[in-house]
Structure 1
Amino acid sequence: MKREKEMTFGLAMIPLLVMISVMFIAIVVLDQGPHIPLIIGTITAALVAWRAGYKWNDIEEAMYKGIKLALPAVIIIMLVGLVIGAWLGGGVVATMIFYGLKILSPSLFLVSITIICCVVSLTIGSSWSTMGTIGVAGMGIGMSMGIPAPMVAGAIISGSYFGDKMSPLSDTTNLAAGLTNTDLFEHIKHMFYTTIPGLAIALIVYWFLGRDFGKDGVSSTDINQTILALQDSFVISPFLLIVPLVVVLLVAKKVPAIPALVVGVILGVICQIFVQGSSVTDAVTALQSGFVINSGNEMVDGLFNGGGLDSMMYTVSMTIVAMTFGGILENTGMLQAIVKQILKLAKSAKSLIISTIATAFATNATCSEQYISIVVPSRMFAKAYKDKGLHSKNLSRALEDGGTLTSVFIPWNTCGVFILATLGVHAFDYAPYAILNFVVPIIGIIYALLGFTVVKLTDEEIIAQREEEASINS
């Protein structure tokens, strides 16, 4: 893109300030959604880019680039809506909830669901797939036990993002390692220092929060009534557990998420028609507009009415709108102008790491996409880490601590809107209970201040790095 002059810091801040101000008024004062504030922010960003010398074709191309980056996420969002509709209609979710209520203890449920989501997300490397399958059932089990939905959602999110951050199969883990030229397993090993203590703290908090639910939080009569209502409304069979198991195994065998989820949809439809005895029309309706049940039990009806492609259209539109805004910011030099200003203030190694974590979080808030929060800071901070003699794994860990994990706290971020559509809980409600997601960045900042686990390049590594750069330049 050609422009008449460089984007300045002052110009770059205008769209952000406008968007944040309008977003605050819309969400806090007017109790509205984030779509319109982001559209206003996009219009402002386009005007600023035009003022800086960009032509409309360039600005339009910037928006398309942002949307293109989010297209894989949009497809997965739609498929998850289909999976939920098919699994609700096929009795798959009901079966998982049925056996979960029989096996899991209310007092240890938050700890148990966190560990289960940790294991599944480590195996498949995807927080979204974990939340869209195991997480949906976990919400049903926890709420049936009388545990508040925000607590359940927070535990599911913590466990799901543990694997998303630590699994060698995770796209964000590979992205952070690849962009910083860090060995994948060296990157994962370095993240142990912040993520394992974060998980331990989360489990302790969940044990503390859940210790009273087995006493007074819910009675065994309530659980038994829910179990009976499930048996009356669905055909419950352990064979239905094969469906989520197949999806998990497919992804664990490195089958891409999209075809694996398609298999999950097909199996769910088969279960609805041949196990639950529904018609083909009902199965198709569940896929399109969601599954509907009138069991007479308020709890069961609340849990099982939902899913379908239509339920995800709010999330899809939110993602597209957010990425038009983020696309303009990234592709017209606005983000780069802001990061350059930050680099002027990052004089030491500790301030550089803290700035990286803060920038990744700010990118999540402004560009509304987890991937951008890793891509942009990795490009802008890489040279600064080299100049200060810091190993690249410091940068890769800071990107994940500040980018991968904090995306869930932004209601208009693609992760925040996905969680709202999938688990049915708003970011502002589950935020205090997503313990892992906010504790790990804090630990990373404390480590930076203390200089703990801040690894510097050896003399040999510096020489090898200079020789490699000289070879590339020649």
Structure 2
Amino acid sequence: MDTKTREKKEINFWMAILPLIVMIGVMLVTVVWLKQGPHMPLIVGTSVAALVAWKYGFNWKEIEEMMYKGIRLALPAVIIIMLVGLTIGSWMGGGIVATMIFYGLKLITPAWFLVAIMIICSIVSLAIGSSWSTMATIGVAGMGIGLSMGIPAGMVAGAVISGAYFGDKMSPLSDTTNLASGLTGTDLFDHIKHMLYTTIPALIIAFGVFTVLGRRFASSNIDLDKIAQTSKVMSESFLISPWLLLVPLAVIVMVAMKIPAVPALIVGIVMGFLSQIFIQGGTVTGALSALQEGFSIQTGNTLVDNLFDGGGLDSMMYTVSMTIVAMTFGGILEYSGMLKAIMDQLMKVVKSTSSLIISTIGACIMTNATCAEQYISIVVPSRMFSKAYKDKGLSSKNLSRALEDGGTLTSVFIPWNTCGVFILGTLGVGVTEYGPYAIINLVVPILSIIYALTGFSIVKMTEEEKVRMQEKEALLDHSSEENEQLPVHS
């Protein structure tokens, strides 16, 4: 392909959507029929996107730069993903995960476990503003407890995800919450209050669903001897001590104190590494192996062996590679103008307030699928729809809520999105398993669409907001252009 400057043409809608159609088609055959991973379909989609960009005047050097820009957007997430692998390996080897599971089995009954883990994850995530950190700490232990009780992995993961994203969405410390309010010029706490209309009913529905599901695992319906045996094997294989709970507590406190996720996780990794050597009596070689290859143990108890076989840097390479491939695809779509062409066509059918809000939610979901990154699913639609909300006299908090309802929460349902691959790497459960049980993530976008159709909680712009929006317009335009400086996943 030529690297010289070529005359560029505007990409039309049908050519812009072609790479997406091809990618989805190949994805359905590869993932659904052949039961293979999504890497190859994403590479095929990237190749088609590159050919379309080349056809419309971009040279190969420019196309490469688009891919590099996409990858650069994902680098903060990649770093977190690798650190989470190290965290899980060191915490398993250090007996930290075993301690959390041991006491969890003592304190939480199977019938109320799903409700309990959702509430615990909600509180922790609300306090620290991070769904990823919550899932990587409390979520990992919750998976172990739930599996020990005989609860299906998809249900446990769904409860963990529901709680983690509830807290993340409603926390003033959350990066996505601040991003959505900041890009739309909405007061942070006005934005959070407006999200209560969709989020609180979803939380109540989730509480009811997990209560009903939990009744299937009441003490009379499960093997209590199996749980007792699991606890016994863990206490024989690890030194169980409540002092080890200080390790995850330290990480949670550091993140709550606004210490960035990377140094907080590094401290947790070091503490887990030292715990394996000085508390569990392991060797330096064994502790290093747990960091690189993951921890494993042979107790003769299949459940315990499976629970503590994982983690490590190597375990995250599948997730890292998928993230990089997905972001090359998203980078070409974004920076070649294909995504804009698709969005522009979408805007032509937006006539009413309800269709505008529904289109915003749909655009967020589509961006999650095409660009594979929840931050882009907030940034791009906010840029595309901001003027339309203003022209219709709608308060900016309608847009900020739609961005979160459609962008933040639906990211977990895209297997190749950074959130989907993070959950697979951290909790060990795929979208097809946990998707039906991620109740809050499912219900919130549906409620948002229902509200758009009925007009419930849709707020018109006040005179004060009109003045404030005019004052911030120039600043918002500048912020939207700097989409390479997105927040770090935490």
Determine what percentage of the aligned residue pairs are the same residue: 68
- Residue number in structure 2 paired with 1:169: 173
Q: Does 1:257 align with 2:261?
A: yes
Runs of 5+ consecutive residues of structure 1 not aligned to the other structure:
none
From 382, 385, 389, the counterpart of 2:389: 385
In the TM superposition, 1:65-464 aligns within 5 A as 65-462=69-466
Q: Which amino acid aligns with 1:64?
A: Y
Q: Is the 8 A contact 1:147 1:217 kept in 2?
A: no
Could you state the TM-score of these two structures normalised by the residue count of structure 2? Answer: 0.94
Rounded to whole Å, the distance in 2 between the matches of 1:284 and 1:464 is 55
Distance 2:474 2:322 in 1: 45
Provide the rounded CA distance (Å) in 2 between the counterparts of 1:238 and 1:470: 53
Q: Which residue matches 2:483?
A: none
Letter in 2 for 1:321: V
2:61 to 54, 57, 60: 57
Distance 1:469 1:70, change over 3 A: closer
| Residue identity in the other structure for 1:287 | L
**Residue 459 of structure 1, CA deviation:** 3.7
> What SS is found at the alignment partner of 2:218?
helix
Write out per-residue CA displacement over residues 122-176 of structure 1, whole angstroms, 9 at most, x where no aligned residue.
1111111111111010000001011111000000000011111111111111111
Deviation, 1:217, is 3.6
**Residue number in structure 2 paired with 1:7:** 11
Cα offset, 1:212, TM superposition: 2.5
**1:424 CA drift (Å):** 1.0
CA deviation string 1:240-267 (max 9, x = no partner): 0000000000000000000000000000
- Contact 1:273 1:280 survives alignment (8 Å): yes
Deviation at 1:464, TM superposition (A): 5.3
Q: Give the stretch that moved more between structures: 463-472 or 293-302.
A: 463-472
Residues 176 and 399 in structure 1, CA contact (< 8 A), matched pair in contact too: yes
1:103: how far off? 0.2
How far apart, CA to CA, are the structure 2 residues paired with 1:11 and 1:313? 33
- Is 1:29 the counterpart of 2:29? The answer is no
Instruction: Please give the alpha-carbon distance, in whole angstroms, between the structure 2 residues aligned to 1:50 and 1:470.
Output: 33
3-state SS of 1:345 partner: coil
Distance in 2 separating the partners of 1:345 and 1:339: 11
Shift of 1:472: 11
Moved more, 115-124 or 463-472: 463-472
CA distance in 1, matches of 2:176, 2:475: 30
Question: Does the CA-based 8 Å contact 1:86-1:272 persist in structure 2?
Answer: yes
Cα distance between partner residues in 2 of 1:165 and 1:469: 25
The one-letter code matched in structure 1 to 2:411 is S
Structure 1 stretch 359-368 or stretch 438-447: which is displaced more? 359-368
- Cα pair 1:145 1:217 within 8 Å, conserved: no
Is the 1:146–1:217 contact (alpha carbons within 8 Å) kept by the matching residues of 2? Answer: no
Tell me the alpha carbon deviations over residues 296-322 of structure 1, each in whole angstroms, 9 at most, x when there is no partner: 110000000110000000000000000
**Structure 1 residues 41 and 185, CA gap change in structure 2 (3 angstroms):** same
Using the alignment, how far apart are the partners of 1:177 and 1:346 within structure 2? 23
Residues 51 and 254 of structure 1: CA distance in aligned 2, closer, same or farther (over 3 Å): same
Choose from 35, 39, 43 the match for 1:39: 43
Cα shift at 1:216: 3.9
Report the TM-score, using the length of structure 1 for normalisation: 0.97
- Matches of 1:302 and 1:134, distance apart in 2: 18
How many residue pairs were aligned?
Answer: 473
Runs of 4 or more consecutive aligned structure 1 residues displaced over 6 Å after TM superposition: 470-473
Cα drift, residue 52 of structure 1: 1.1
Q: Deviations over 1:54-83 (max 9, x none)?
A: 121211111111101100000000000000
